[in-house]
Structures are given as C-alpha cells and as structure tokens.
Amino acid sequence: MSGRGAELFELLDRGEVVLGDGAMGTLLQTRGIEPGGAAELWNVDRADTITAIHTEYAEAGARLVTTNTFGGTSARLALHGLSDRVRELNLAGARIAREVADRFDGWVLGDVGPSGELIAPLGVMEPAEVRAMFAEQIAALAEGGADVILVETMSDLAEVEAAVGAAADAAPGLPVAATLTFDTHGHTMMGVSPERAAEELAALGARIVGGNCGNGPHEIGPVMTQMAERRPAGIHLIAQSNAGMPRLEGADFHYDGTPEVMAEYALRMRELGVGVIGACCGSTPAHVAAMRAALDLAPTGS
C-alpha cells in the first residue's frame, strides 16, 4: 500500500471518522450537463468545472476526493461513442482529483461504477471479460494517482468480484473499498442482504465495505447496523447515503434531504462505528459542510 493509503488506514484503525464528499452526477446537472450526457467527458472538456466541484467539497470539509469516473468503463462509455477513450478520461479524472486532494491534504478515491452488463449465466458477458474491462479503467485511475479504488453502487456480488479482482490485477498496491446499493426491502436488486455483503465483500479482498445511494438516510441506517454486526475484524465501514428522495418540482427533480437531515445521519453513522461517512445523489457541498460541522461539534460518544 502506498504511503498515502497507509495514512488513511492509520486514521481508520485509530477509530477516527474520515469524511467523504458528495454527489457528482446530480451536481453536474445544475452546472449545465445535457440530460444523458457523459459526465466523464467533462474531465477533458470542462476540467475547470470538475476541479471547482472537488474544491467546493474539500472546502466544505471532505477529506476524500472521488474521481468523476463512475461510468468510466468501456461498456458505459460506449453508450456515448467514447469506448476508445477509457484511459484518457479516467486518467484525466484521477489527475484532477489528485491535484485537489494534495491541496487539501486528502485522499483520492478512484470511482468505479457498475458496467451495466449482466454476467453469465444471467447475461452474455463472461466474468473474465468484465474483469478485463474494469482492469482497463482501474489501471488509468491508479496511473492518475488514486489512493483507494472505490467499487460502488453495485447489486451483484459477481460484478463486485470482477471489479475487486481487476484491482488486484491492475493496481495491486491499492486497497479497495466496495459498496452495494440496498434499495429493495433492505437487499440489493440481486437479493444480497447487508449481513451477507459485509462478509463476502471482505472475503473478496475489500478493506472497506458498506452501502451507498438507496432511498436516503432512513434506509441506510438499518443497512449499516446489520453490516456493523457482521463485519469481519480489521474491516472498516463506509456509508454514502443519498440526500433523501428525489421529488419532481416542475421539470426538475429535487432531493428532500436537507443539510440538517444529513448532519443527523452523519452522527448516527459514527455511532454505528462507520469510519468513512459520505453522501451520494442529491447531496451538495452544503450537505457535506453540515455533516462536517455536526461531527466536529458533537464529540465522539456524546
């Protein structure tokens, strides 16, 4: 593990909370991205905007900078005719995040989202193909300066296995964090429970495991409670909740989770022993700032 990554785990091992950042996709919608546009393309065409968003989160108190590469696999980029630009767009995203993290003494999470493909026998792609696809992306994130590979918003443990394996192939010196989305009666869309996830994600090799996205803080609380009860020794927890639920107002969706709601969520996650606390869809630097203030004002154990 690199020196920077080792420092992060030293903090977590001491029981300290490391605050993550918030949403990128929903925030880009307020910055002018076209509906259905490729967010990763902005790492090259609108790098100043991506830098500004990372900086705003860091100024709000986030110590983790998550690369703008959620859809950075060739399968996802192919939807925009960009499948031949995997290395370029992921490398650019990692370098932008690295520059901001270095200015704020933080760490870079190299973001890897679902491929959108179903793995055999449910789909047509073989595990080795999906693993190679993830490895292509992860190699570029590592080259650009990621400290941790974040495999997020997953539903299928087979896809997580492919991604974690890809990290071992392409970036063997980097630790992996992995999160599933539990939005179907406390399970993932593929029927994985939080208890099973905690054990199996760790068994695959993830050092940090948890949940993200979903239907808001009220839902992720029980999920993280169950994961906390079953996590193996030496494994840290991560929670990244949506800022509530999206509601249609006029032509736009707005999330109903206020900064105050997210501040309460941050305190609850700390009580459960979650070491990495961040936010997901609908969150903004204002939400992260409220989470930072709440964690700073309320001493551990209060």
pLDDT digits (tens, 9 = 90+) for 16-65: 999 999 999 999 999 999 989 999 999 999 999 999 999 999 999 999 99
pLDDT at 2 over 70: no
Residue 302 lies in a domain: no
Residue 38 lies in a domain: yes
pLDDT at 248 over 80: no
Residue 10 lies in a domain: yes
Residue 228 lies in a domain: yes
Q: Residue 164: what pLDDT?
A: 98
Question: Which spans in the chain are helix H?
Answer: 3-13, 25-30, 42-45, 47-60, 74-78, 86-103, 127-144, 157-170, 194-204, 217-230, 259-271, 285-297
Query: Residue 4 — pLDDT band, cuts 50, 70, 90?
Result: confident
Residue 278 lies in a domain: yes
Instruction: Give the domain extent around 291.
Output: 3-297
The domain that contains 236 carries what CATH number? 3.20.20.330
How far apart are the C-alpha atoms of 74 and 96, rounded to whole Å? 20
Give me the number of domains the chain comprises: 1
Query: Residue 302 — pLDDT band, cuts 50, 70, 90?
Result: very low
Averaged confidence pLDDT in the chain: 94
- As to burial, measured by CB atoms within 10 angstroms (0-12 exposed, 13-18 middle, 19+ buried), residue 299 is exposed
pTM for this model (two decimals): 0.95
How far apart are the C-alpha atoms of 204 and 30, rounded to whole Å? 37
DSSP state string for 23-91? -SHHHHHHTTPPTT--GGGHHHHTHHHHHHHHHHHHHHT--EEE-S-TT-SHHHHHTTT-GGGHHHHHH
How far apart are the C-alpha atoms of 73 and 52, rounded to whole Å? 24
